[in-house]
Amino acid sequence: LSVDDLKKIAAYKAVEHVKSGMVVGLGTGSTAKHAVDRIAHLLQQGKLTDIVGIATSMKTHDQAVSLGIPLSDLDTHPVVDLAIDGADEVDPDLNLVKGRGGSLLREKMVESATTKFVVIVDESKLVKHIGGSGLAMPVEIIPFCWSHSLKRLVNLFADSGCEGKLRRDSSDGNGEIYVTDNGNYIIDLYFERDIGDLNEASDAILRLPGIVEHGMFIGLATSVIVAGVSGVTVKTK
Ligand code: DER
């Protein structure tokens, strides 16, 4: 089984929770893509009806439009019945890191407005503590004085051996600055050590003027479907 096979297995399992008539948050990324494909397939087969999708990125919006999934937005549907999305990291308390695909702000808007948030991951995403993968913890900032914001973010986590990088379109660091669907920039933070209490870290980040949102999804997931080589497990709080 390839990693993509595992992502598809988790995604299809999550779509079993989708019922006709639901308002469904449609996630972003290579795992959520399979869930969006599956929902469209069931709609085309008539096995699902009256679904309204709320896309978490322009990329997912375009995928859903191309597949014929009816779309709406949070202004029209302030409460979402079920959201399905991937994650970059999942800790034992089902806290997440998201946003390596650049869509954390709209994802968090949708996934903080949903009754049920089902996360779909392959087993490589499981970590002991958030920031523990050594991979990026994204923070969306306004473009104005981004270097100043980067320095302030890094200073917040000096005790955790934090480094920060402005996300660019190419990994060699020389590409154009990455611009989110919302016209903002992303600072990717990297930690050498545990960042401690997540809510304190979240509050400290969001108190900084110019910071829009971060990629820690604390206490938002209802359940996490983990597809591994030895099978699928469902973690609930
Ligand atoms: O960027 C995002 O938030 C994505 O959902 C990411 O967290 C998971 O992407 P993947 O399914 O491609 O690994």
126-156 as b/e: b if 16+ CB within 10 A? bbebbbbbebbbbbbbeeeebeebbebbbeb
Pairing of strands 211-214, 185-190: unpaired
**CA 144 / ligand 1 centre spacing (Å):** 26
Residues near 196 by beta carbon (within 8 Å), at least 6 away in sequence:
160
Residue 40 CB burial class (10 angstroms; 0-12, 13-18, ≥19): buried
**CA 62 / ligand 1 centre spacing (Å):** 17
**CA 192 / ligand 1 centre spacing (Å):** 22
As a whole number, the mean pLDDT across the chain is 96
Residue of 100, 112, 126 with the most ligand 1 atoms within 8 Å of its CB, for mutation: 100
Query: Is the CB of 188 inside a 6 Å radius of any atom of ligand 1?
Result: no
Residue 28 CB burial class (10 angstroms; 0-12, 13-18, ≥19): buried
In this predicted complex, what is the ipTM?
A: 0.97
Render pLDDT for 182-231 as a digit per residue (tens, 0 to 9): 999 999 999 999 899 999 999 999 999 999 999 999 999 999 999 999 99
Task: Write the residue with the smallest CA distance to atom 4 of ligand 1.
Answer: 29
Render pLDDT for 76-134 as a digit per residue (tens, 0 to 9): 999 999 999 999 999 999 999 999 999 999 999 999 999 999 999 999 999 999 987 88
- Rounded to a whole number of angstroms, the distance between the first and last alpha carbons of the chain is 28
- For residue 32, which atom of ligand 1 is closest to its CA? 11
CB of 195 within 8 A of CB of 130? Answer: yes
Task: Write the residue with the smallest CA distance to atom 2 of ligand 1.
Answer: 99
